Amino acid sequence: MNRRIFLKGTALCATGFGLLKSVVAMALEWPKTLFELEDEAEAVKTLFGDTPISESADVAIKAPLQAENGAVVPIKVHTTLADAESISIMVEKNPSPFITTVNLRPGSSGGMYSARIKMGQTSNVTAYVKAGGKVHTASQEIKVTVGGCGG
Amino acid sequence: MAFVTKMKIKKGGDGHDVLCLVKHPMETGLRKDKKTGKVIPAHFIEVMAFQLNGTTVAEALLGQGVSMNPLIGINVIGAKSGDKITVSWNDNMGETGAAEATVK
């Protein structure tokens, strides 16, 4: 992900709510290639580069152990790391594992992110929290009885 | 086409939990119409930005993997009573939406 584009977007966003709609669309570039990658390891590399990644007890995923409907799986990620810069969610066995990410502003946004995601089949779901030059992860297997990617 | 955008603020964590719900199809571009057999074109929210009194506090990047009618939640620290929290989003077809709420 291009950090420069992000920072540029942030500066522009501050110009006000009325302008915001069009500004967001232009300034914040959506990382198309990242969302199209078919391999989780590749997506992680694209997103975090060479940043060291380790499992951490400071990151917790709150999600069902078994999802009856893969089209709507509620995921909530909590972290106690105070300087969390971003929280990302990946589903290993989805056609494109990279689901979503949120960029936080340490100090003004806390370590929580929740979203409802689609899952094609039973898979590991991993949360990646970037904080203090490191990436902290936690993962959980979610069993899916009906997939949500084919329809 | 207009999409309903709703926002809810409640106390949680160290500050306030902000939940945003958008009535949006979030099409992956992989699904086929059962009657016609044609692929339904992808249509999903790409960026969702949260602001506290005009300053961006979080930006979420969404994709095809997020469910229909996405419910996105973040935590905002330092919001006081009377502060305004706004959310705005845009999708891959150029549609936009926004909502605003006041912290109680």
d(CA A75, CA A62): 6
The encoded tokens of residue B102 equal 């006041």
Vertex A48 angle, CA A133 and B42, to 5°? 140
pTM for this structure?
0.81
* Domain of A108, in residue numbers: 39-144
The shortest CB-CB distance from A104 to any of B54, B58, B65 is to B58
Q: A111 with A68, same domain?
A: yes
User: Are residue A79 and residue A98 in the same domain, yes or no?
Assistant: yes
Would A125 be classed as within a structural domain? yes
What's the domain count of chain A? Answer: 2
Same domain, A20 and A93: no
How far apart CA B3 and CA B104 sit, in angstroms, is 26
User: Would you state the pLDDT for residue A7?
Assistant: 52
Please check whether residue A48 lies inside any domain of the structure.
yes
CB contact under 8 A, A9 and B32: no
In a shared domain, residues A85 and A114: yes
Shortest CA distance to B94 belongs to which of B28, B47, B25, B49?
Answer: B47
Asked whether residue A46 falls in the same domain as residue A91, the answer is yes
Please tell me if residue B58 touches chain A, with a CB cutoff of 8 Å: yes
Taking an 8 Å cut-off on Cβ atoms, the answer to whether B75 and A110 are in contact is yes
The answer to the question of residue A151 being in a domain is: no
CA gap B6, B3 in Å, rounded:
10
CB contacts of A111 in chain B (<8 Å) are: 13, 75
Residue-level pLDDT, tens digit, chain A, 151 residues: 556 655 555 444 444 444 444 444 444 678 888 888 888 888 998 889 889 999 998 999 999 998 888 889 999 999 998 889 999 999 999 888 999 999 998 888 888 999 999 998 899 999 999 998 899 999 999 999 876 555 4
Contacts of residue B30, defined as CB under 8 A and 6 or more positions apart, other chains included, come to: A95, A149, A150, A151, B39, B64
Please state the ipTM of this predicted complex.
Answer: 0.87
A8 & A50 share domain = no
Claim to verify: residue A107 and residue A134 sit in the same structural domain: yes
Domain ranges of chain B: 5-28+39-102
**Residue A150: inside a domain, yes or no?**
no
Q: H-type helices in chain A, by residue range?
A: 3-13, 17-27, 32-36, 40-48
Q: Which CATH number applies to B5-28+39-102: 3.40.50.300, 2.60.40.10, 3.40.718.10, 3.40.50.740? A: 2.60.40.10
Task: Please report whether residue A124 resides in a domain.
Answer: yes
Question: Are A114 and A68 in a shared domain?
Answer: yes
Q: How many of the other CB atoms lie within 10 Å of CB of B7?
A: 18
